[in-house]
A and B are shown apart, each in its own frame.
Chain A
Amino acid sequence: MLQISDLFLALVIIIVASAVLRGRWARYLTFLFSFAILLFLSLNNLTLTNFSYGTLSILSLTFQLNFVSSILLVLISIVGIYIPLRFKSTPGFFVLLQFLLFSLIGIFTSRDFIVFYIFWEMVLIPSFFVIGIWGGKNKNYAAMKFFIYTHVGSVFMLLAIFTMYFAEGASNFSMSTLISGVGSISLPYQAFVISGFLFAFLIKLPTIPLHSWMPDAYVEAPTEGTVFISSLLSKMGAFGLLVIFSPIFMSSSLAGSTIVPIILIALGIFTLIYSALVALYQKDIKRMMSYTSIGHMSFISIAVGGFLYLNGSNPLASQLLYYGAVFQLISHGIIIALIFSLVDTLEKSTGTRQVTSLGGIARKLPGLSFLILAAFLASVAIPGFSGFVGEISILLGSYAVLKYYLILVLAGVVLTASYHVFTLQRTIFGPYNEFLGNIRARREELLVAILPLSLIFLLGIYPALVFHIFDIHSIQFLGGIHP
């Protein structure tokens, strides 16, 4: 068993080394960075593991490797291998990328609210610079909007953390003590704590109407930036909802009430339908796909709202929702990374990413068209692709919560499928648009895409792989899911 402090130390050394060596080394060291994470995971015995390093004044230096975080760490290392493989960016980018991945590991493992908050804010720095330095035309606007918008959410989270700390009269910011004590404080404070966390996580997820930082950030960021923002940063909100918000809610005195879960579900459904409708109207494929990402993540809020609503009354449906949501995290992370890099290849080979200027690409670029088709089918959640597993589990489980209202979610599913096949029809199928001239795609970019695609197939055909990463029976929290 490896200590997480060793991992942090190794990663810091790698980051410093990349920053000092620069050149090509920054890119190669990113692989090493990702392998270190994988090594750490494989050397741990796949159960709920706590790493405790005492307390530092009011901070408790505790870290935890749990089910959700180990899956997200796998996703981080996959993205950490994929990005340097696919993109030959500047050394500075890779240093920032490593810094970002490091902060994400901190978010997903720390069990102290202040440490968690520090890592949470640290993520903003590399993302801000990546958008602001290498971004497109409106990069300054997008970077600033991204930074301020998500920061506003974090402020409310910080206030919620302090409210818990002072109202409970705790001695340190340890998550486990603060969360378990939340039921003892007065009701208005509890409501403030819950809404503060919810606000911060829903912005990061993002949920409509708190999403408007996102399309700009995705479109303006360079593609390698879009890949990690879409694939990893949206997981911060999902992780927060699953691992931090849900336990707080369950241990508060609001636990049995249905109003908060209903708000979450309603927001999720609205997000799904609305994002599909807006996506249907977009001409820019990159912007369209950023709404796809919103739509996929809305399943998380539906699932979380669902099992909080059930409150343990239907273990089967709760499990379908919970595991579906966790599966959706890793599946969406890989699919959206693949989609954005394929859009990049498409733009580089044809010179445009406007749907109206494309058409009949399949005749000239069969390889790229096949990959786009596969990525889109994965995004529509066709069986055999990983997207199916998460989506179908959440849909089946949410019938127990939604009953007839499930029709709204299903309408969103149909709309999502519609704009995907509309786009396919207008870009890769149909007669070739002769204005594009003689186009060609870079072969190595297509070859690299096979890595995420094979992962998508692997997870789609044998989804149990994800659940083998972790010993499920050691999961304790979330009332009713594991009686």
Chain B
Amino acid sequence: MDLSIILTFLIFGLPLIGFPFVIGIGYIKKNYSMYLGTVLIFLSFLITVFLFFTYTVKGTVIQYSFNWLPSLPVVIPVGVYADNLSMIMALMVSFVGFLIILFSVGYMKEDPNRHVFFGEMVLFTSSMLGLVLASSLLMLFIFWELVGLCSYLLIGFWHYKPNAASAAKKAFIVTRVGDVFFIAGIGAAILYSSGAALSITGLGAIHLEWQRTIVALLLFGGAIGKSAQFPLHVWIPDAMEGPTTVSALIHAATMVTAGVYLMARIYSLDLSILTPTALSVMLYIGIVTIILSGLIGLVVNDIKRILAYSTIGQIGYMVAALGLGLGVTSIGLSIYQLEAHAFFKALLFLAAGSILHAVMNVRDINKMGGLWKKMPVTVTAMLVGALALSGFPGFAGFFSKDSIITASFGVSIFAWSLLAIGGFLTTLYAFRMFFKVATGKPRSYAAEHAHESGRIMLIPIVVLAAFSAIFGIFQQGFYDFVENKPVSSAFGIAPLTITDIVPVIIMLAGLGIAYLAWGRSSTIPSKVANGARDFYLLVKNKFFLDVFFTNVIAERGVIGLSAVSDRFERKAIGGLVDASGELFQNSGKVLRKIQTGLARQYALIILIGLILSLLLLRILMLSGVIH
């Protein structure tokens, strides 16, 4: 086996094998787990960098599969497939993963169970790397489930908190709903390609359009669950009960984008797999998600939940970018947004984590304020993040998000206008959060006594802030690389057109309105809320989707059905069995009464029986049954 193949396996294999040791070594000394975990992910990152520059850049696709179940007649391949798309994802995952684990060393240093935390973080990172490098849909699904498992365990890391236990459960069940569509999608792909699609490169063997539509939509069902798109987005805001570093790594930068990666992966291997039907479903699911999450993000007060809704919306842009159906251009747009988002959203979460560390974990932005002076580095970094998120010219989000909006102009004016409105909402909630956190007077005791975090937490923040600011310079090179075109230069931006001005104007308008409303003391927000009372309540209640899922589907529907089944089980089935048992017992009781022991009665019964039998015999003979 070639060295490159072994190394590719090691990218995720090393931390996967290493994670039990990370937990185990914690029983000797808890801090050792932190160091071992960080080193493992750093090694993965180094291997990825090495492979990236020695093989991928030169156009080599590292590809190797072996049979998962040897000795069976059916061949189920598992292995690695490292082309441009998966390697650039692996590079991002290991790099951001390393930075966040480094941040966790400072953030979690006082937690009594930190060895378990680091073990689970290492398992997560390795599974995520396995997911992006998988060579078959089945292997992708295996790691897809493992990242989901890690998400479940890490959301519930502080399991003694009732909210965390409940949020973990909700995340597990909701993503599970998506996962089963993924299973159905794999099953459909295998059936319609006569088994060729067991390997990820065999998706092209599905010939009929309706079959491709079914496969694409089922796989997209999985993506909806994992990537928190409408209507299965409800688990992410609750998932914010986990440690902030978990939110940064899993629920912002990597795992939630797995669904987008999945769709981009199959699209890049076979451009016809996403049929026009599937594409328009994706486009409009993405757009609905962007608008809904943008609106909800405006009325939420929990800093982490604002970021969660922002994540949902930004992933909506990635999905919509794929849904534009521009072939490889769509993949470039989507994956570029994915990576830019990973940097600035991880930055925003880590900044939020740093702030929460300082204000004793009070997450309500109404209780913050004036933190710019207390924590200059963190809050400046947060400003960079907010500018990048809202797409301020020059920052990462401008190149990634506004390019998607501009590209949609050629596809559909309707989609274009909705995506632009989404951009406006993004700016509005991003700066609402920023102004409430950073400016004004401290609105609580904790905010008054906040102080800057330690260096080990600031280093990752600064590095991520730098990436969020300058990531745009790689734009054109990135597009060419992901689209498998010859890359002339790593640096350079895509040419701007006249339509690019529109998102910028909208974004600046949003910034201005945000300043007027929240940058100074103002009554505008309450006036708007009162003016459109019904709409405000609709948004404040998250469009009643959570209520619908929890109260109607879960409690009335499933629990109700379950109560009915339980009654049926006890009364009907149990009763029927018992009744048939009693029937035989009672018939025994009745027959027992004949056993009187009186010879006269027995003689009478014998006589009657004899006469009846003779009569029966006679009748049968007359009717010709017996001759």
Contact = CB atoms under 8 A, between A and B. Distances in A.
Nearest to A279: B562
Contacts of B168: 421, 425, 429
B559 A431 contact: no
Interface string B536-579: 00000000000000000000001101110110010001100100
B183 interface: yes
Contacts of A211: 573
Q: How large is the interface on A (under 10, 10 to 19, 20 to 34, 35 or more residues)?
A: 35 or more
A191 interface: no
B169 A317 contact: no
B72 interface: yes
Contacts of B186: 396
Nearest to B184: A406
Nearest to A406: B184
B156 A429 contact: yes
Contact of B73 (A398, A429, A472): A472
A145 B577 CA distance: 9
A122 interface: no
A468 B71 contact: yes
Contacts of B68: 463-464
Most interface-central of A208, A396, A411, A415 (chain B CB within 10 A): A396
A265 to B, nearest CB: 15
A277 B149 contact: no
Contacts of B74: 316, 319-320, 323
Contact of A362 (B141, B159, B563): B159
A212 B173 contact: no
A267 interface: no
B203 to A, nearest CB: 15
Nearest to B71: A467
A472 B160 CA distance: 49
Contact of A316 (B159, B160, B190, B558): B190
Contacts of B141: 383, 392
Interface string A448-483: 000000000000000110011000110000000010
A282 interface: yes
A157 B602 CA distance: 37
B246 to A, nearest CB: 16
Contact of B160 (A274, A317, A360, A463): A360
B180 A399 contact: no
A414 B181 CA distance: 11
Given A383-B146, A396-B190, A280 B73 contact: no
B19 to A, nearest CB: 12
A290 to B, nearest CB: 12
Contact of B169 (A278, A382, A422): A422
Contacts of A410: 180-181, 183-184
A432 interface: yes
A220 B618 CA distance: 56
A213 B152 CA distance: 36
Interface string A355-384: 000001011000000000000010000111
A229 B92 CA distance: 51
B70 interface: yes
B562 A323 contact: no
Contacts of B181: 410
A429 B159 contact: yes
B22 to A, nearest CB: 15
Interface string B40-79: 0000000000000000000000000000111111100000
B608 to A, nearest CB: 32
A277 B561 contact: yes
Interface string B132-162: 0000001001110110010010001001111
A399 B146 contact: no
A360 B156 CA distance: 12
A208 B566 CA distance: 13
A205 B566 CA distance: 20
A155 interface: no
A414 B169 contact: no
A149 interface: yes
Contacts of B191: 314, 317, 399-400
Given A277-B561, A417-B176, A422-B169, A464 B160 contact: no
A209 interface: yes
B562 A430 contact: no
A170 interface: no
A432 B138 CA distance: 39
A318 B560 CA distance: 37
Contacts of B348: none
Interface in A402-435: 406-407, 410-411, 413-415, 417-418, 421-422, 424-425, 428-432
A319 B75 CA distance: 10
A462 to B, nearest CB: 9
Chain B interface main SS type:
helix
Nearest to A413: B180
Interface in A276-302: 277-278, 280-282
Contacts of A363: 160
Given A319-B72, A362-B160, A399-B184, A429 B561 contact: no
B395 to A, nearest CB: 39
Nearest to A317: B191
A415 B558 contact: yes
B162 to A, nearest CB: 5
A263 interface: no
Most interface-central of B159, B172, B195 (chain A CB within 10 A): B159
B597 interface: no
Nearest to A391: B183
Contacts of A418: 173, 176, 558
A392 B183 contact: yes
Contacts of A397: 187
Contacts of A13: none
Contacts of A415: 558
A310 B533 CA distance: 59
Nearest to A482: B73
A212 B573 contact: yes
A304 B228 CA distance: 36
A281 B71 contact: no
A400 B159 CA distance: 41
B160 A278 contact: no
A231 B506 CA distance: 65
A319 B73 contact: yes
A281 B184 contact: no
A396 B563 CA distance: 31
A149 B577 CA distance: 9
B326 interface: no
Given A399-B191, A421-B169, A425-B169, A278 B569 contact: yes
B188 interface: yes
Most interface-central of A208, A212, A213, A431 (chain B CB within 10 A): A212
A277 B562 contact: yes
A280 B562 contact: yes
A120 to B, nearest CB: 21
B173 A421 contact: yes
B406 to A, nearest CB: 39
A142 interface: no
Interface in A95-125: none
Interface string B278-304: 000000000000000000000000000
B272 interface: no
A395 interface: yes
B449 to A, nearest CB: 29
A384 B566 CA distance: 33
A316 B187 contact: no
Given A209-B573, A395-B183, A464-B71, 8 more contacts: A145-B577, A145-B581, A278-B565, A278-B566, A281-B566, A317-B191, A396-B186, A410-B181
16 contacts: A212-B577, A274-B565, A320-B74, A323-B72, A360-B159, A383-B145, A396-B186, A406-B184, A413-B183, A417-B172, A421-B152, A430-B160, A431-B160, A464-B72, A467-B71, A472-B72
A-B residue pairs, 10 tightest by C-beta: A399-B187, A410-B180, A429-B165, A281-B566, A383-B142, A277-B565, A429-B159, A280-B562, A277-B562, A281-B562
